Amino acid sequence: MHSQLVVSLSGIGPQTLDRCADLAAALDPRQVPLSLLVAPRELGKAQEWVRHRTSLGDAVVLHGLGQRRLPAYEAGLLLMGARLQMDAIGLKADTFAPRRCVASPGTLIALAKHRFQRCADAHAVREVGSGLATLGRLHALTERTSFGELRSLALVYAAARSARRGGLTRITVDARDLHRPGARQAVLDAVDIALAHDAAPTTYVKLPSPRLASAA
């Protein structure tokens, strides 16, 4: 069973725009689209770049609501506010990725109420309505306080192991980390080794339903 590869990018904003564009330009020849984790309030002038990237095949994913115990009512208000901000800048999203990679039960209830289709958390991509999930651990460069060769190798080995096993391989990067020496290359190396194991690039938005996968 071949793996599917999703590469996501967060931390998109005016201060990181050059790094975001550089990573996207490096992935384009590899035919690897990005899932753009967007916090609309933080985009600023980067919104034009996000719109351009969606025209090239990248996907927009709403990013936010990292509180572990956020109740459904409060989560719903925050989601409504974020949707209004997205509408104001001409962006749409029916897929959600929580900050800190954990969605509270209240957030999941609110996502269903507001007709989101998917939630991508630390361990799986979940269908909000059915609760079915495509399992796949998120592999990331997460420690900003210390970054070096060992962390790069850990990301590459994790991507290789996941792609060999089949299923879903997920690589994520925070644009704010891309200024660190070796971070960009580590992400590209992880992508390359997943592709070498025949992982098929896709986005969270285009990921097949778990119901289709189980029926195959």
Q: What is the pLDDT of residue 131?
A: 84
Taking alpha carbons only, the member of 56, 155, 160, 70 closest to residue 111 is: 70
Q: What is the pLDDT of residue 163?
A: 93
Q: What is the pLDDT of residue 142?
A: 57
Contact 9, 43 (CB under 8 A): no
User: Domains plus CATH for the chain?
Assistant: 4-214 (3.20.20.370)
- Please state the pTM of the whole predicted model: 0.91
Q: What is the pLDDT of residues 6-54, one digit of tens each?
A: 999 999 999 999 999 999 999 999 999 999 999 999 999 999 999 999 9
67 pLDDT tier (thresholds 50, 70, 90) = low
- Alpha-carbon torsion, ordered 180, 53, 32, 66, to 10 deg: 60
CA distance 29 to 13: 24
Higher pLDDT, 66 or 61: 61
Q: What is the pLDDT of residues 152-202, one digit of tens each?
A: 788 899 999 999 998 899 999 999 989 887 889 999 999 999 999 999 999
